[in-house]
Amino acid sequence: WFAKNHPGYQGGPFVYFSTEFGFHECLRIYSGGLGVLSGDHCKSASDLGIPFIGIGPLYKHGYFEQEIEPDGRQQHFYPAYDFSRLPIQPLLGDDGRHLTISVDFPDRAVFARVWLAQVGRVPVLLLDTDNNKNNPADRPITGQLYVSGREMRICQEIVIGVGGVRALQALGIEPACWHMNEGHCAFLGLERVRNCVKGGMGFADACQQVAKNAVFTTHTPVPAGNEAFDTGLIRKYYKHYCKDIGITLDQLINLGLSSPGQGQQPFSLTVLALHLSTFCNGVSQLHGHVSNDMWRHVFKDLKPGENRIQAITNGIHTFTWMGYQMAELYDKYLTPAWRENLMDELFWKRGVTHIPDKELWDVHNLQKESLIRFTRSRERAHLARHGASPDDLRSVEELLDPQALTIGFARRFATYKRADLLFRDFDRLRAILKDPERPVQFVFAGKAHPADKPGQELIRRIFDISRNTDLHGHIVFIENYNMRVARMLVQGVDVWLNNPRRPHEASGTSGMKAPVNGGINFSVADGWWCEVQNPDAGWTIGKAEENANPDAQDHEDSESFYDILEDKIVPLYYERDANDLPVEWIKMMKASIAAVTPRFSTARMVRDYTEQAYLPAAKRGGAVTTAAEQTW
């Protein structure tokens, strides 16, 4: 795609920094949606043939592995990964040895080795400090993803930002555009400023120069989700830097303050990234609006009505999330050309009409059976770990009914995602789920951050309901949510539930993964779902507005949830024709496939980034005219 559409491009690669990358469950350097998005971004950049390099940390322990105790408590495990057994390789320097770069800390250097994860055509450079050139106290800097200690966190983010710039330098790569995916990697901007100042520029000019070809994507409208540090930590870790380039600490700190000169504030990496980039974006149209309101004060020269933050809606890497049975069905009826027409809305709209109802239904049910088998085996292993008897383990074979309407809910257990919304009126829920003629079952999965006690309480509550109430069998919780569990779920469920408190879900992506498999969304009007034009592609919970009173909003949304489930979803699913096919349901499956697959793919998203952000940035940075050699 890139060679065809931008044949004259001669600049360097676009580099993409992220603190997490979700490529596959075997490389556990992701925690949730942000990481999966980064991974899908790289995969589509590869598919489209874009000159692109990913950069991030290689965590020794990654994110935690979750086990649920019999009483529902979440346990955290941090296995140490043997890098030699991961699908990565040491990146060798000119001397043929493992490339190691150094990052200067206040009174010492910290060394990071550079590893290569080759993702299709896209190289991803991963940095790790767990090597014997470092003092044992520095080796765990890249130990855990989202480490809870604030000082360790800043060390980690300095290693990513500064180390990433140095790794590129060591490899002789001159990027044409620098993309900061979320604020965590914003220190890269300061490192680039240092290089400009060393090259003879003044500090203010250097900041401007760096911003020209930098792109920043913000991912959360929840204030606590925006990384910020106590200014004391910036003073500690950036004192030598300021001395080095001849500026005062206050000059530097002002770059990260929301309202400089107005009292005590933390140093925000989002504000730093906004200052050191030209193109900034949110990850859905609604999130773009919300972000503009949220960060308007940072842009002093903004006229009323003028917006600095654009919107590029997220997507998913279609091939990663589509089940192989479904892919074969598309091969048969849309022809294998669907693989080259991922972003073509008309192609999909026409294509689905060629699929016979019965075949779509059968393939969907095959994938659903895989999910049920998978769920049973996970449940059996879980019970066995807690000492259940052979008879108890045998009874797991009855868990989940392949004929029953099956709804999935899986994501990080952040409280704004309201995993327990459906339990607000327990009696009403019970009546719907336990209807003997038309039963409904839910499969849940998700991890709560180790420091998020309310999130862990949600898990405990849902787990308890799944085990100790009469909803046993209708509510199932699969432990240790990861990309594998996500794949099984989105490929097998009939309906995907998404009920965050609007407008807190910047985009959400899990709901995009179900339709490519014939699943249908049941979602609050938030994030990406607001952009789905076809009302027949799913069901919308509540109204497209916010309520100042969160409890009232929860109440309204839950009432809407029950009403739609009871009046629309259940009847439609169980209404069969003479051949036992739910014809109207299948019609909706097709509408869901056609409305979501082309529009919410990372193919479309990466194309948008390339044309709206990367190429203009490269041009501003002057890289397009200098024919940089392709060193990757």
Ligand X SMILES: *Cc1c(COP(=O)(O)O)cnc(C)c1O
Task: Point out which residues bind ligand X (CB under 6 A).
Answer: 32-33, 36, 411-412, 481-483, 486, 508-510
Rounded Cα–Cα distance for residues 375 and 43 (Å) = 28
Cβ atoms of 365 and 442 within 8 Å: the answer is: no
Looking at the Cβ atoms of 81 and 481, the one nearer to ligand X is 481
Secondary-structure percent of the chain, ordered helix, strand, coil, rounded to 5: 45, 15, 35
**Least gap, CB of 140 to ligand X (angstroms):** 25
Looking at the Cβ atoms of 13 and 56, the one nearer to ligand X is 56
Rounded Cα–Cα distance for residues 29 and 20 (Å) = 6
**Least gap, CB of 233 to ligand X (angstroms):** 29
**Least gap, CB of 531 to ligand X (angstroms):** 14
Rounded Cα–Cα distance for residues 245 and 239 (Å) = 10
Other CB atoms within 10 Å distance of the CB of residue 622 = 13
Looking at the Cβ atoms of 489 and 624, the one nearer to ligand X is 489
Q: C-alpha 310: how far from its chain's center?
A: 19
> Which tokens sit at 104?
């200067």
Torsion of CA 465, 467, 472, 476, to 10 degrees: 80
Q: C-alpha 416: how far from its chain's center?
A: 16
**Least gap, CB of 498 to ligand X (angstroms):** 6
Looking at the Cβ atoms of 347 and 496, the one nearer to ligand X is 496
Looking at the Cβ atoms of 34 and 234, the one nearer to ligand X is 34
Looking at the Cβ atoms of 496 and 614, the one nearer to ligand X is 496
Cβ atoms of 372 and 397 within 8 Å: the answer is: no
Cβ atoms of 503 and 526 within 8 Å: the answer is: yes
**Least gap, CB of 510 to ligand X (angstroms):** 3
Rounded Cα–Cα distance for residues 30 and 163 (Å) = 19
Looking at the Cβ atoms of 226 and 320, the one nearer to ligand X is 320
Other CB atoms within 10 Å distance of the CB of residue 26 = 12
Looking at the Cβ atoms of 123 and 511, the one nearer to ligand X is 511
Looking at the Cβ atoms of 32 and 323, the one nearer to ligand X is 32
Q: Which residues contact 320 (CB under 8 A, 6 or more apart)?
A: 39, 40, 43, 487
**Least gap, CB of 291 to ligand X (angstroms):** 17
**Least gap, CB of 165 to ligand X (angstroms):** 29
**Least gap, CB of 342 to ligand X (angstroms):** 18
Looking at the Cβ atoms of 206 and 422, the one nearer to ligand X is 422
**Least gap, CB of 484 to ligand X (angstroms):** 9
Helix (H) or strand (E) holding 467: helix 453-468
**Least gap, CB of 10 to ligand X (angstroms):** 36
In whole angstroms, how far apart are CA 259 and each of 183, 300, 355?
A: 18, 10, 57
Looking at the Cβ atoms of 158 and 512, the one nearer to ligand X is 512
**Least gap, CB of 256 to ligand X (angstroms):** 27
Looking at the Cβ atoms of 33 and 54, the one nearer to ligand X is 33
> Which tokens sit at 122?
């896209």
Residue 445 identity: A
Instruction: Please identify which residue in the block is written with the tokens 């029953």.
Output: 404
> Which tokens sit at 309?
């933050």
Name the residue among 609, 466, 452, 597 with its Cα closest to residue 521: 597
- Inter-helix orientation angle 187-198/231-245, to 10°: 20
> Which tokens sit at 531?
């952009």
Rounded Cα–Cα distance for residues 197 and 383 (Å) = 61
Residue 476 identity: V
Cβ atoms of 630 and 226 within 8 Å: the answer is: no
**Least gap, CB of 489 to ligand X (angstroms):** 9
